[in-house]
Structure 1
Amino acid sequence: MNQWLADFAYKINIDWWMFALAGAVAISIALLTVSFQSVRTALMNPVKSLRSE
C-alpha cells in the first residue's frame, strides 16, 4: 500500500486534528438539531396536538 501511494505525483499530509474537527462538527450539528426539535416539541401545546388526532 505504501509503495502504491508513493507513486502518486501529488501528496498531501492530513493531520489527526482534521478528523477530530470533522467529528466534532458532525456531533455538534446532530446535537443542535436534536435539541432544537426537543425544545420545539416541549413548547408545543398538547391540547392542539390531541385535537388533530
Structure 2
Amino acid sequence: MELEAAQVAHFFTLMHKRHKKKTTLITSNLGFGQWGSFFKEFPSDCRINRPPD
C-alpha cells in the first residue's frame, strides 16, 4: 500500500496539529527503513526518531 502525496500531506498536517497536545501511537509491520517507501512524498525535514523537545 502506498499513499498519494495529498494523503501524506493530510497525515503530517494532523501530526503537526496534535504535536504537544495529544499522544499519538503509530504501529506498523514495516521496518523503519521501509517507511520512506510507504510515504512516497516523505518530507525531507521530518524527524520521526528525534528526542522529545
Structure showing the higher helix proportion among its residues: 1
Shared fold by TM > 0.5?
A: no
TM-score, normalised via structure 1 length: 0.32
Task: Name which one, 1 or 2, has greater alpha-carbon Rg.
Answer: 1
TM-score, normalised via structure 2 length: 0.32
Question: Whose relative contact order is higher, 1 or 2, with alpha carbons under 8 Å and at least 6 apart?
Answer: 2
